[in-house]
A and B are shown apart, each in its own frame.
Chain A
Amino acid sequence: MLHVVDVCVSFDGRTVLDHVSLHVGGNEVVALLGPSGSGKSTLLRVVAGLQDVSSGVVRWDGTDITQEPTHRRRFGFVFQDEQLFPHRDVAANIGFGLRMAGTDRASVASRVSELLALVGLPGFGERDVTTLSGGEAKRVALARALAPKPRLMLLDEPLTGLDAALHDRLADDLRNLLRQAGLPAILVTHDPAEAARIADRVVHLGDLGSGSR
């Protein structure tokens, strides 16, 4: 259960997040809506530990994790531009988190093929990630984040920049995958329709500030 309490972030004197609080419980999927530049991605990075806060607290199941480094949080993150490791093939990208956790080779291999099947890319393991189409890259990025069985999924505009048909198909797939995994998730998006399609609950970043608390 995630609690973000009274978080402030500023860059070079400009306040990006001003006393923002957010609660994500159980295995609900929360969509975080807001116009671009409103700081929703920053909030996601705060949760992931990729962004230091000026003040405020992030708690997981009651434990303060504000100072916990990213790699110990076990929060999966799907980046807007995927950030697949270009020097590794698809299987090595998906297996990365498992290798970091010290999983043995055989288990990594079986989990990777399991995930490839799950995201609809069976047999893609040895493909070079630079040869993937936009939709395939998104699926690989999702599989990579899911592989180490994270406690929470963070998705930063995961479907932005795809054409309409692909977007809708992936949105449904994403919804089903998150349900299947039974994971809580935060989805950052600027598209209300997408938010409604995927999430259980939709919140507007503007409503999370101190004024409306």
Chain B
Amino acid sequence: MDQGRAAVAPARARWALAVVPVLFTALFFLWPLGAIAARGLSLGAIGDVLGDGYTRSVLWFTFWQAAVCSAGAVVVGVLPAYVLARYRVPGRRLLLALVTVPFMLPTVVVGSAFLALLPASMHRTVPAVLLAHVWVNLAVVVRTVGTSVAQMDPRLGDAAATLGASPWQVMRHVTLPLLRPALWASSAVVFLFCFTSFGIVRLVGGPSHPTLEVEIWRRTTQSLDLRTAAALAVVQLVIVVGMTVVWSTAQARTATATAMRTLLRPRRARTAGQRALVWITVPATTAVVLAPLAVMVERSMCTAAGRHSLDAWRAVTGVGRALGTGGTQPVVADPWATVLASLRIALVATCIALVVGTLAACAIAYARRGGRLLDAGLMLPLGTSAVTIGFGLIITYNRGWYDLRGSWVMLPIGQALVAVPFVVRVILPTMRAIQPGLREAAATLGASPWHVWREVDLPVLRRSMGAGAGFAFAISVGEFGASSFLTRVGNETAPIAIGRLIARPSLLNLAQAYALATVLAVVTLVVIVVVDRLRGERGASF
């Protein structure tokens, strides 16, 4: 009985809730998007971009690397997905969490880890980019396909076996066909992530292999060709939105069939073949996930060929600095200050994202018709890339009294825009799970709409708000795409510092970058563990 909500959240209160999120989105997202469109959305500009051989090759590279990476992630990820969902494996939960780690880490950490892992001869090459992308996105495949495996009744395989199918034939003719929707879904998600990947491509691929994102950034900050950058942003946005629409409609069709199924418990590996599968997959997966990170930590202590020292860590933490810099001007004057700046700015971004996201989630849950629209509007920044957000902000807030280019506030605002959709996604399900009857009961006992929210909603939301804040913080502290446009001297964040160190690769600079990345990784992981505790047992979704 939808109409009944009127009594608990009258129209006035519902609109009041939506004011802040709508204003925030309009001012810092839609207006900048309009500014991009004003510069780039013309037949002339887009024609020039698509007619140019160089940008066409950028577009082509963006496409094919995303396609190859998505195929690669599915091929590598399907086995761990299957094994971890189907069989009782010691430390299964830990391993599932471990597989998710690369996906959660800031892209600069991933980039640093792969530079550390791969020999120098592979730095700034396409294969390095592909490997890093596959590694990051394994989590998507393992989680999505794993859920599908857990929903699949293993007795179907038993039935096939009684009909004479060998384990391989069961896999080929029963399991894989049933997993097909999940395989497609995860490959689509990985494709989109790789298509809009910025940090990894810029760090690992270097300037000679740009994707659309990196090219937008390069044109804006280096060749100051805003017209081309805007046209590229428009092209990218159209492609991403188009693909998202196609995929979400396709997914909506397949999702209805599987929505109501329950998760089945993992079984014990019974046959020798199954046990072999488990005993090969589990250590291999662990090694694949941990190796780049472990090597990165090791290389952060490697400042001269074949010798280990803590020079980089001294430079980063400021403990006995200048010992190892050899008198030359350091690339990043005070690395530790960048860590502190990151934490400070992320804290502000978290506050913004939490307020906007919570209000938005409440407005969406209370709303009748406008809810869907608000929901979709707030998710837009997620579909757009962080680069587009940063680019839009600097070409919008650049005149007169609202010239905020030099101001530190743009940075947390940009980061908050990236984080808000996640906060909404975490809070909204809890908000919707609250029985409307409880709010009605509170109202009949004399609680005003504000009291209803404080007494009924807030106590239930507190955990989700904590988790949302954690997500926002983890995203903000490692944010690279929008920050690349918005950082100014004096408020340089750690990810930006890592980017600059890697752009001038000497042994010491790289070691410093790895040390900073390690710090960033630890901060992110601590936050993620706290978030996980707050969210409890509920399943992960992206």
With the chains together, A85 CA to B452 CA distance in Å? 11
Contacts of A83 in B (CB 8 A): 435, 437-438, 440-441
Q: Check A45 against B4 for contact (C-beta < 8 Å).
A: yes
Number of interface residues of B (CB under 8 A): 26
Contacts of B1 in A (CB 8 A): 11, 51
Q: Check B440 against A70 for contact (C-beta < 8 Å).
A: yes
Contacts of B444 in A (CB 8 A): 48, 50, 70-71, 73, 75-77, 145, 154
With the chains together, A35 CA to B1 CA distance in Å? 19
Q: How far is the CB of A186 from chain B (nearest CB, A)?
A: 13
Contacts of A77 in B (CB 8 A): 440-441, 444
With the chains together, A96 CA to B440 CA distance in Å? 13
Which of B4, B437, B445 is in CB contact (< 8 Å) with A144? B445
Contacts of B442 in A (CB 8 A): 71, 85, 96, 100
Q: Mark B420-456, 1 if CB is under 8 A from A, else 0.
A: 0000000000000001011011111111110110011
**Is A190 on the interface with B (CB-CB < 8 A)?**
no
Closest partner residue, chain B, to A52 (CB atom): B6
**Is A81 on the interface with B (CB-CB < 8 A)?**
yes
Residues 72-129 of A contacting B (Cβ, < 8 Å): 72-77, 79, 81, 83-85, 87, 96-97, 100-101
With the chains together, A158 CA to B510 CA distance in Å? 72
Which of A45, A74, A84 is in CB contact (< 8 Å) with B446? A74
**Is A13 on the interface with B (CB-CB < 8 A)?**
no
Which of B10, B445, B456 is in CB contact (< 8 Å) with A97? B445
**Is B530 on the interface with A (CB-CB < 8 A)?**
no
Contacts of A51 in B (CB 8 A): 1, 3-4, 6-7
With the chains together, A72 CA to B446 CA distance in Å? 6
With the chains together, A161 CA to B281 CA distance in Å? 53
With the chains together, A12 CA to B438 CA distance in Å? 24
Q: Check A71 against B441 for contact (C-beta < 8 Å).
A: no
Contacts of A100 in B (CB 8 A): 442, 445-448, 451, 455
Q: Which of A49, A71, A154 has the most CB of B within 10 A?
A: A71
Q: Check B440 against A97 for contact (C-beta < 8 Å).
A: no
With the chains together, A73 CA to B447 CA distance in Å? 11
**Is A148 on the interface with B (CB-CB < 8 A)?**
yes
Q: Check B441 against A79 for contact (C-beta < 8 Å).
A: yes
**Is A69 on the interface with B (CB-CB < 8 A)?**
yes
Q: Which of B3, B446, B459 has the most CB of A within 10 A?
A: B446
**Is B460 on the interface with A (CB-CB < 8 A)?**
yes
Closest partner residue, chain B, to A74 (CB atom): B446
With the chains together, A74 CA to B447 CA distance in Å? 10
Contacts of B443 in A (CB 8 A): 49-50, 69-71
With the chains together, A50 CA to B444 CA distance in Å? 8
Closest partner residue, chain A, to B452 (CB atom): A71
Q: A83-B435, A144-B445 are in contact. Are A71 and B451 (CB under 8 A)?
A: yes
With the chains together, A81 CA to B435 CA distance in Å? 11
With the chains together, A45 CA to B7 CA distance in Å? 10
**Is B200 on the interface with A (CB-CB < 8 A)?**
no
With the chains together, A72 CA to B444 CA distance in Å? 8
Residues 32-54 of B contacting A (Cβ, < 8 Å): none
Q: Which of B437, B438, B443 has the most CB of A within 10 A?
A: B443
Q: Check A69 against B7 for contact (C-beta < 8 Å).
A: yes
Q: How far is the CB of B454 from chain A (nearest CB, A)?
A: 10
**Is B8 on the interface with A (CB-CB < 8 A)?**
yes
Closest partner residue, chain A, to B8 (CB atom): A70
With the chains together, A52 CA to B444 CA distance in Å? 15
Q: Which of B7, B8, B455 has the most CB of A within 10 A?
A: B7
Contacts of B6 in A (CB 8 A): 51-52
Contacts of B435 in A (CB 8 A): 83
Contacts of A49 in B (CB 8 A): 7, 443
Closest partner residue, chain A, to B442 (CB atom): A96
Contacts of A76 in B (CB 8 A): 444-445
Contacts of B437 in A (CB 8 A): 79, 81, 83
Contacts of B449 in A (CB 8 A): 69, 71
Q: Check A145 against B445 for contact (C-beta < 8 Å).
A: yes
Contacts of B440 in A (CB 8 A): 48, 50, 70, 77, 79, 83
Contacts of B445 in A (CB 8 A): 71, 76, 96-97, 100, 144-145, 148
Q: How far is the CB of A48 from chain B (nearest CB, A)?
A: 6
Q: A77-B441, A83-B441 are in contact. Are A97 and B7 (CB under 8 A)?
A: no
Q: A52-B3, A83-B435 are in contact. Are A69 and B456 (CB under 8 A)?
A: no
Q: A77-B441, A83-B440, A87-B459 are in contact. Are A50 and B447 (CB under 8 A)?
A: no
With the chains together, A84 CA to B445 CA distance in Å? 12
Contacts of A144 in B (CB 8 A): 441, 445
Contacts of A52 in B (CB 8 A): 3, 6-7
Q: Check A96 against B448 for contact (C-beta < 8 Å).
A: no
Contacts of A75 in B (CB 8 A): 444
Q: How far is the CB of B367 from chain A (nearest CB, A)?
A: 16
Contacts of B446 in A (CB 8 A): 71-72, 74, 97, 100-101, 148
Q: A48-B444, A97-B446, A148-B446 are in contact. Are A11 and B438 (CB under 8 A)?
A: no
Q: Check B10 against A50 for contact (C-beta < 8 Å).
A: no
Q: Which of B3, B449, B455 has the most CB of A within 10 A?
A: B3
Closest partner residue, chain A, to B6 (CB atom): A52
Contacts of B10 in A (CB 8 A): 69
Q: Mark B1-43, 1 if CB is under 8 A from A, else 0.
A: 1011011101000000000000000000000000000000000
Q: How far is the CB of A44 from chain B (nearest CB, A)?
A: 11
With the chains together, A81 CA to B436 CA distance in Å? 12
Q: How far is the CB of B11 from chain A (nearest CB, A)?
A: 10
Closest partner residue, chain A, to B450 (CB atom): A71
With the chains together, A87 CA to B441 CA distance in Å? 14
Q: Which of B6, B440, B451 has the most CB of A within 10 A?
A: B440
Q: Mark B455-480, 1 if CB is under 8 A from A, else 0.
A: 11001100000000000000000000
The 3 closest A-B pairs by CB, nearest first: A97-B445, A77-B444, A70-B443
Could you pull out 7 A-B pairs where Cβ atoms are within 8 angstroms? A69-B449, A71-B444, A79-B440, A87-B459, A101-B446, A144-B441, A148-B446
Taking A52-B6, A71-B447, A85-B438 as given, write out 20 further A-B residue pairs in contact, using a Cβ cutoff of 8 Å, ordered by the A residue number.
A48-B440, A50-B440, A51-B1, A51-B7, A69-B7, A69-B448, A70-B443, A71-B444, A74-B446, A76-B445, A77-B444, A79-B440, A83-B440, A85-B455, A96-B442, A97-B446, A100-B447, A100-B455, A145-B445, A148-B446
Interface residues of B (CB under 8 A from A): 1, 3-4, 6-8, 10, 435, 437-438, 440-449, 451-452, 455-456, 459-460
